[in-house]
Structure 1
Amino acid sequence: MAVYSIGEVAERCGINPVTLRAWQRRYGLLKPQRSEGGHRQFDDEDIQRIEEIKRWVDSGVPVGKVKALLEGENIHLDDSWAVLQDELMGVLRTVRPAKLRVKIATMGKENPADALIDNVIIPVRQRLRLDQSTARAMSSLLDGALIDYVAFCLTGSRKKAGKDALLISWGNEDRTRLWLEAWRLSQQNWRIDVLAEPLETLRPELFPGQYIFLWTGKKLTRGQQEQIGHWQEQGFSIMPHGN
């Protein structure tokens, strides 16, 4: 029977090793064997289980609910992400940056970046925009902590095998979302660098030989689509991301 290290499983399944450890230790979702040296060893059944866990999480199920589903229990899922949103809002209201950083890091370890960004972080940022009394301070606090965490994640991803790319915001002022999209790409084996300031006029010739992702945060206009096609015809490795 073939056995795999946690690094091999992480690469094969597209899951961060830190997340796999969290799924095992905190949620009891995995039970890998141990080598004589104490290292985790996974077999093909473990990989199948990981893929099943991923499918549940990718479909919008918080990781804390997955074990019950795997065991055939009937649970209510509608409010699961809302609970995490409320937890994050609660930490924000304490106005304690260190506690907020810990909460974000914990959620980042336990949930895939895509699911966490789409189901928790973006909705919380939207909720803060509706709260005029304290929204500006809380939103700024959250954004700073998110960028800090994403920068940490990007540094770690650059130490691994992957493809180098530059992420550029094209006409969108939401810098925090840009960093969140960089995190999303880093989970797809991209070693991402971020051009922190958005550009109204993009000149790819300033970045010769680099693979470039463009993020606008909205549907590309016909003019933008034509411009990207023109750059590609000129030989630039440039692609829209998440539009």
Structure 2
Amino acid sequence: MALYSIGDVAERCGINPVTLRAWQRRYGLLKPQRTEGGHRLFDEDDIERIEEIKRWIESGVPVGKVKALIEGENVNIDDGWFALQEEMLAVLRLVRPSKLRTKIATIGKENPAEMLIDHVFVPIRQRLGLDQNTARAMCSLLDGALIDYIAFCLTGSRKKAGKDALLIGWGLTDRTRLWLEAWRLSQQGWRIDVLAEPLDSPRPELFPGQHIFVYTGKAFTKRQQEQISHWQAQGFSITAHGH
């Protein structure tokens, strides 16, 4: 039977080697063979298992719950995401930026960006937003670490093949959410640049020849939808992102 290196499997399955190692070491999801030198070797059965793990995760299952599902156990998926939120909050309460950055990077390697945005980071920020005192400082600390990590991810995505685009906040007050959406788009094959300061009007004529995504953080109004259609009719490549 053919055997493949971790680099070959990562390229074939579209999974970072760091993630494959985490799936093995931390979650016991993989059991590759080893060369005499200790290098991992994967066979076709391993690759099928990796694809199965990917399907579970992409369907919204936290990576920590996947092994139980594969083994046929009953699992509450929502509990898994809530547990990850609690882990993040516990690290946040330490008020140690370096530990927070490490935690974000770790879960960022192990879970799809879209799932982390929707099931971990947005809910945590909403929970922190309910408290106007200490939690506001904690949320600000989290936002800084998130933007730092997302900027790193966007830089990496620009080195890959893809389509260039600019993300603009339109009347948006939550700047961190803009960066989270930039991260989401970068995972969909876009090489994203972010206009860090939201605008009252995107003014696509200032960015000729560029594809533009606009994000409002809420449902687009009828007037905004009409304005986007008007810009498109004028030949601008502009798309409403999100709602």
TM norm structure 2: 0.88
Displacement of 1:218 in angstroms is 1.0
Amino acid at match of 2:242: G
- Which residue in 2 is equivalent to 1:228? 228
Displacement of 1:2 in angstroms is 10
SS of residue matched to 1:126 = helix
Displacement of 1:140 in angstroms is 0.6
SS of residue matched to 1:79 = helix
Deviates more, 1:68-77 or 1:117-126: 68-77
C-alpha contact (below 8 Å) 2:202/2:214 kept by paired residues: no
- Which residue in 1 is equivalent to 2:11? 7
Q: How does 1:130-169 map to 2 (within 5 A)?
A: 130-169=130-169
Q: How many residues were matched structurally?
A: 238
- Which residue in 2 is equivalent to 1:123? 123
Q: d(CA) in 2 for partners of 1:218 and 1:35?
A: 53
- Which residue in 2 is equivalent to 1:69? 69
Displacement of 1:115 in angstroms is 0.6
- Which residue in 1 is equivalent to 2:212? 212
Q: How does 1:1-243 map to 2 (within 5 A)?
A: 4-10=8-14, 15-31=15-31, 38=39, 43=44, 46-243=46-243
Q: d(CA) in 1 for partners of 2:122 and 2:228?
A: 27
Please give the per-residue CA displacement for 1:35-93, whole angstroms capped at 9, x wherever unaligned.
Answer: 999576664x5554334323322333210110111111223333211111111111111
C-alpha contact (below 8 Å) 1:53/1:66 kept by paired residues: yes
Please give the per-residue CA displacement for 1:82-109, whole angstroms capped at 9, x wherever unaligned.
Answer: 1111111111111111111111111101
SS of residue matched to 1:78 = helix
C-alpha contact (below 8 Å) 1:23/1:29 kept by paired residues: yes
Amino acid at match of 2:240: P
**Residues 160, 132 of structure 1: CA spacing in aligned structure 2 closer, same or farther, 3 A cutoff?**
same
Amino acid at match of 1:229: S
SS of residue matched to 2:78 = coil
**Residues 234, 47 of structure 1: CA spacing in aligned structure 2 closer, same or farther, 3 A cutoff?**
farther
Identity value in percent: 73
Displacement of 1:198 in angstroms is 0.3
TM norm structure 1: 0.88
C-alpha contact (below 8 Å) 2:154/2:186 kept by paired residues: yes
C-alpha contact (below 8 Å) 1:167/1:215 kept by paired residues: yes
Q: Give structure 1 regions of 4+ aligned residues with deviation exceeding 6 angstroms.
A: 33-37
**Residues 6, 129 of structure 1: CA spacing in aligned structure 2 closer, same or farther, 3 A cutoff?**
same
Deviates more, 1:71-80 or 1:167-176: 71-80
Displacement of 1:222 in angstroms is 1.0
C-alpha contact (below 8 Å) 1:6/1:42 kept by paired residues: no
Amino acid at match of 1:233: A
Structure 2: where are the runs of 5+ without partners? Answer: none
Q: d(CA) in 1 for partners of 2:185 and 2:155?
A: 13
Structure 1: where are the runs of 5+ without partners? Answer: none
Please give the per-residue CA displacement for 1:211-234, whole angstroms capped at 9, x wherever unaligned.
Answer: 111111111111111111111111
